[in-house]
Structure 1
């Protein structure tokens, strides 16, 4: 309970001048006696110890203490049922109050402030920032965050999911932005990083191991229940939420990432470096950069690879959209190779189609050459295709064509003239 200075002054005056007891002061001022105890203890007086009154729970206290000593995390509801079976006649309110006083408290653990050397370590994590609407598709908006532990330089890039390919893209883009990388990358127990863990026994994701071998860094997960070991990246994500993303306006993902790049180089880089407050983060990074590992000659391949098959129509389905292929390749196993901008379709090692990638939903992305080739093969397909194109241009076309047929016009000729 919070009291004002006037009540606090009255408590001190009634106790020291009028010599009133704690209970009398509490009754007259309409406050709890614990408030009076607190004010007097702050004034330097020892807390008044009162003899406890008998309670119906007293006979059960030895059993409760013994049970809690053996099972310290046992819920109060389960303990109440156990005591009630042994004859406890009281309700839950008093019981819960006493259990909260009797339950063993875990000794709070003190954490050392972790120090790292320049170029030694970076921390990596994902942050969820809601969603973004792209056409008909509502995509999750995920922030890939990597922060150098010594200089606190932040790399920030937004993606439309946190799948492995984007996880790899975030790494490669961060390394290229810094023109180097640290010796150790520290991860939380992300599925993209750790497949399985039993105590200290860890099985890393094989793709992450391939990335680490390519760039020669050591992947290292944080210890279980040791949030202080990855505190730098967690604080960086909170900093991004409050100082970058809050009230941010953008139309596209590309625009958001452009703003993120400017923020990392500008506002974020101008803040004071916690390791050395005489330096800004940008100045500390310039000192740390020569200690980073150098980049290999070729970047790691972060393209997506997925087996697909075209059924009866000359399209394959990839990431919620349909892409056209030459009609000769229907009913055949194919492979899609995609980055964030382009999509290639392979038959074995031979590329049969290339499209600009779409992150919309239920879109039909076509190469006119594919469709025209099918028109030449299928007269009926050509006719239906012409009808579809005209129907898309005007809602009056179906009625017009029906009237043309009734008047004896040849449908194929009519479609050719209209197209």
Structure 2
């Protein structure tokens, strides 16, 4: 029996009831008036078989979506979770599709499992399930962040984060609390975790955090790693394992540890600093290690001892994670970074020369981009300034520059008499003469005719009217 599109759409409404066990096939058949075999055929088929459209003479009719099917498949290959409403919107806007959203939706439901299988992605029915895995001692650790919110807001600290690393074999935990998730803090927490465990695991599992992954890529493509993450992993000799997108169960052991620490260490307590929070975790660790884990049914501390022995040894020197920037040198031999100024030796640089800044949480190191004859690039190292607007200067960096102390000034050939040595009466008398109008009117001024000036210059007398001409 071939269902009409109307009857088929009506039957689709019962699929959820059947899968949840609320209705049986027989009950659905009675409700719809269809044969039980027909109900079984359409409800149990993968993706629910779409009934073919037929003309009155029994021939199949072409659907509008069939013409756009390759285009929809390409959209799903680019983004397997793209919504049917988005696909319909793009088809209408960009490709002048005139079909209904319902038709696109039905096709997407049929095509998504097929495309997912082509891409090697789990079908929707298995998306909520995962395969449990076990590892040997020392083989793996998992890392995650926790957001602890405003637990120290009354102390002026707006946000507190918890860093977690859990050894996968024993579930032995490490946690520390920070006020930042930047690059230096992230790997500084790693060093603290390695010291806590006494070694380095062979592999560390991460999600796609920006301190590990440089940018996101499509499924199946190689993940580009952050250069500092690669350098840090190479120095401590462990492999980076980045989870696929939307796979939080891949590091479920550390995800669970975030909640355990929040409940057993932080809940119901007040702290005044992150150091107190770290101390609270450290005092809780022996209690945790004395417990039997529900999964492997062993004492966590006993299993952790085997885990610690299998870890790789720590390198003799720590790896310093640094921000790297290029900055120009000013004419005052100062380099701007982070809103502050840092000095470099005047004899080793020139104005506008580019220098490389390598900044850690505690220091700022300035390097030349070209090594000197001995192969050295370090120009200066300063403690990192707190806040903004500071000048961190080493006075020896300005050796050889003019100090301005040898300059001389003059006001003329006759040295000016100091103000305090002038006679007070003389200064007061001159001031009164200037301000006294009576004294000014008594000054005698000579008066002579303009013809005197004409005779002296040899020019003709200037007249404006015969009556005003002078007579000799």
Q: 1:210 aligns with which of 231, 243, 247?
A: 231
Contact 2:345/2:398 (8 A) holds in 1: no
In the alignment, does 2:141 pair up with 1:119? no
Question: Where in structure 1 are there 5+ consecutive unaligned residues?
Answer: 1-33, 54-59, 381-407, 410-419
Aligned CA distance change for structure 1 residues 282 and 316 (closer, same or farther; 3 Å)? farther
Q: Which residue of the partner structure matches residue 241 of structure 2?
A: 220
Q: Secondary structure at the match of 2:297?
A: strand
Instruction: Report the Cα offset of residue 303 of structure 1.
Output: 4.3
Find out whether 1:145 has 2:176 as its counterpart: no
Tell me which residue corresponds to 2:403: 377
| Gapped regions of structure 2 (runs ≥ 5) | 1-13, 35-50, 54-62, 77-81, 114-123, 407-418, 421-472
Residue pairs, 1:14-413, within 5 angstroms: 47=27, 49-51=30-32, 75=84, 106-109=124-127, 110-129=129-148, 141-159=160-178, 161-195=180-214, 197=217, 199=220, 201-244=222-265, 249-253=270-274, 255=275, 258-259=278-279, 262=282, 265-266=285-286, 268-269=288-289, 271-279=291-299, 281-312=300-331, 315-323=334-342, 331=351, 333-345=354-366, 349=376, 355-360=382-387, 362-364=388-390, 366=392, 377-378=403-404
Does the Cα contact within 8 Å between 1:139 and 1:161 map onto a contact in 2? no
* Larger proportion of strand: 1
My pick for the range that moved more, 348-357 or 215-224, is 348-357
Partner deviation per Cα, 1:67-114 (whole Å, 9 max, x = no partner): 99x8796535876998x967x9xxx9xx89xx89x9569323432211
Distance 1:76 1:284 in 2: 51
Q: Is the 8 A contact 1:124 1:147 kept in 2?
A: yes
The aligned counterpart of 2:11 is none
Partner-residue secondary structure (3-state), 2:130: coil
TM-score by length of 2: 0.51
Cα distance in structure 2, aligned partners of 1:133 and 1:249: 8
Secondary structure (helix, strand or coil) at the match of 1:171 reads helix
Deviations 1:39-71 (A, max 9, x none): xx99x9x85742379xxxxxx996799899x87
Q: Distance in 1 between matches of 2:389 and 2:291?
A: 44
Q: More deviation in 351-360 or 176-185?
A: 351-360
Contact 1:114 1:229 in 2 (8 A): no
Distance 1:148 1:379, change over 3 A: same
- Structure 1, residues 301-339: CA drift from partner, whole Å, max 9, x if none? 334454444435565433344446678778455454443
Counterpart secondary structure, 1:277:
coil
Mapped partners of 2:229, 2:397: distance in 1: 41
Give RMSD over aligned pairs. 5.4
The DSSP-based 3-state class of the residue aligned with 1:377 is coil
**Whole-angstrom CA distance in 1 between matches of 2:402 and 2:271:** 45
Instruction: Tell me by how many angstroms 1:127 deviates.
Output: 4.0
2: CA distance, partners of 1:193 / 1:240? 24
Larger Rg: 2
Displacement of 1:148 in angstroms is 0.7
Q: Tell me how many residue pairs correspond in the alignment.
A: 329
Q: Structure 1 residue 256: deviation in Å?
A: 5.6
TM-score, normalisation: structure 1: 0.56
Q: CA deviation at 1:218?
A: 2.3
Aligned 8 A contact 1:214 1:300 in 2? yes
Contact 1:156 1:264 in 2 (8 A): no
Task: Tell me, in whole angstroms, the C-alpha distance in 2 between the residues paired with 1:318 and 1:271.
Answer: 49
Distance 1:350 1:295 in 2: 28
Would you say the 8 A contact 2:385–2:392 is kept in 1? no
Q: 1:283 to 1:319 in 2, by over 3 A?
A: farther
User: Is the alpha carbon distance of 1:220 and 1:372 closer, same or farther for their aligned partners in structure 2, counting shifts above 3 Å?
Assistant: closer
